[in-house]
Structure 1
């Protein structure tokens, strides 16, 4: 049984340095999480050591993506330069390991026209989609300036993965502060805030009518849907108010795929299967931030109700969505 992991991170040292050099009001303190343990060493490797880690987990193929926050906090010129460089490096890695690696492109979202051009260039290089974040500065992903990007992604069959990002400084101060600095950061990122941000970005795209205009566009959300799938009953009430063609939950089932992100809790699987269909589920480990061992992965896979559903989750859905031939 093949196993394709689609949310597996790497990083570019010069990009990390550029983010760390930003003023506080534009920076992203979550980059400090890259330095915990041996994360940084693993993030910088997209060669033999990564392949060895995949072998140990039983993963046949990884889809590479830059760790947060990508290039989105940067000024347009820096975002363009470093996005292109990151994509060239990822393409080289895939070229060295064509049976083991694919990649999501990094886009200079501070320059919407350049983001479209880079998506087109990356698609030509064999990238299987793009990873973006829900906000660029103060501009949300559903802003009309990005509509051409989504039209292009739909036409090129390039799925867009919306990865979590840290809330704005104003929101962090109002909602996620009051503890010690490390707890504040954890609460605003992996403990809670990251996931609300990603869910809200996807929900705003739905409410904006993005999928009514671009019905072929496909999104991917990590962490079993970033809480969105757990609240569709209430979210459906937005559909008539926003003048949408369908219910929010219908768009979730037709235009959004969700990944496991290393969260191998059978209760999460059971709930998601009640909300969406088995052909919307994708395997991922969120490497190197989560590192489930092979035995844990194999145990979780026994929780699927049928062999067919299990095969879709492990590789079938990824092959279909991203055009991968094993």
Structure 2
């Protein structure tokens, strides 16, 4: 069983410098400084990473810049660093085409450049899609300034992975402060990231993004970023309040959303995701290097899922290959 993992992170040194030098440096950046092991793993795209993949039981990683990526940089820096990171990633993939694929970094602070970079990344560099870390500064993903970007994604059949970043400072202060060293954890990996990303998807849906781009496909990690678990609540109350979309929200979720577990090895969450979106829209991710899937844990989880062999194989790699138009045996993103 080939396992392709989708939420697998790396970083380039120039981007880390930009985060630290920027006026809006966040606790995410200082957390990377504190976690030297994670930092080394993010910077490594060679032998140690491949050894870790082998230990997890993962055959292919789809690499992406770690959060917050280029989403909160000044527009000129975001454009240049996204291009630089994508060029570097293309080189990594070319060096190990049987082990790596890539999600493009997209410079959303410059919406026109973002659309152009997605076009270049897919058509020229051969990436199958892109990863966006939620908001761009204070601008949410439902803004119409991103319609050209979404139009390119739809036309090229390039899925967009919607990835978490930290909530804005006022949200962190209001909801996640007062617990000392736990503040950052509470506002980010414990639950804050997932409210943040789920709201970005809901804003996209409520704001008509999928009405305007009905063929665009997005991927939500962490078993749907809470959206799947509250869909039966959100749809009726929004419709009662006057929400009018071309398709019901539940239909948008079933037809435009794909789900990964992001290293959360939960059979309960898998079963729930199957009920909401179907087994043919669930894929694998380990959230490397943040989640420990060592000792073959990633493979053991997929191979032991409470599902048919066909559904397990689809979750392992088949759904990703179908989403990106691949067939078994085509390992290079340039194929």
State the TM bucket, normalised to the shorter chain: over 0.9
> Retained in 2: the 8 A contact 1:229–1:272?
yes
| TM-score with structure 2 setting the length | 0.93
Q: Is the 8 A contact 2:10 2:41 kept in 1?
A: yes
Cα distance in 1 between the residues matched to 2:30 and 2:20: 9
Runs of 4+ aligned structure 1 residues displaced above 6 Å come to none
**Distance in 2 (alpha carbons) for counterparts of 1:218 and 1:298:** 26
Please name the residue that 1:19 is paired with: 19
Query: Which aligned pairs between 1:302-317 and structure 2 lie closer than 5 A?
Result: 302-317=304-319
Distance apart, 1:321 and its partner CA: 1.1
**Deviations 1:106-138, CA, capped at 9 Å, x for gaps:** 011100000011001101211111111221111
Residues 56 and 299 of structure 2 are in contact (CA less than 8 Å); yes or no, is this contact kept in structure 1?
no
User: Structure 1 residue 66: deviation in Å?
Assistant: 0.5
The within-5 A match list for 1:277-292 is 277-292=278-293
The 8 Å contact of residues 133 and 141 in structure 1, kept in 2 or not, is answered as: no
| Contact 2:55-2:296 at 8 Å conserved across structures | no
Q: Looking at both structures, which has the greater relative contact order when contacts are Cα pairs under 8 Å and sequence separation is at least 6?
A: 2
Q: How does 1:70-85 map to 2 (within 5 A)?
A: 70-85=69-84
Mind listing any 5+ residue stretches in structure 1 that lack a counterpart?
none
Aligned length: 323
How far residue 27 of structure 1 moved from its aligned partner, in angstroms, is 2.4
Kindly indicate whether the alpha-carbon contact (under 8 Å) linking 2:284 and 2:317 is maintained by their aligned counterparts in 1. yes
Residues 1-326 of structure 1: matches in 2 within 5 Å?
Answer: 1-23=1-23, 26-35=24-33, 36-124=35-123, 125-180=125-180, 182-237=181-236, 238-239=238-239, 241-301=242-302, 302-324=304-326, 325-326=330-331
Residue 245 of structure 2: SS of its match in structure 1? Answer: coil
- Cα distance in structure 1, aligned partners of 2:90 and 2:78: 18
SS at match of 1:217: coil
Distance in 2 between residues matched to 1:269 and 1:195, nearest whole Å: 17
Gaps of 5+ in 2: none
50-59 or 120-129: which moved more? 50-59
Deviation at 1:239, TM superposition (A): 4.2
Separation in structure 2 between the aligned mates of residue 145 and residue 8 of structure 1, nearest angstrom: 28
Q: For structure 1, which segment, 279-288 or 10-19, has the greater mean C-alpha deviation from structure 2 after superposition? A: 10-19
3-state SS of 1:245 partner: coil
Displacement, 1:303? 2.3
Distance across 2 between alignment mates of 1:103 and 1:282: 16
Deviations 1:244-292 (A, max 9, x none): 0222111111100011111011111111111111111010000000121
Would you say the 8 A contact 2:283–2:317 is kept in 1? yes
Take 1:132 and 1:143, find their aligned partners in 2: how far apart are those partners? 14
RMSD (CA atoms): 1.3
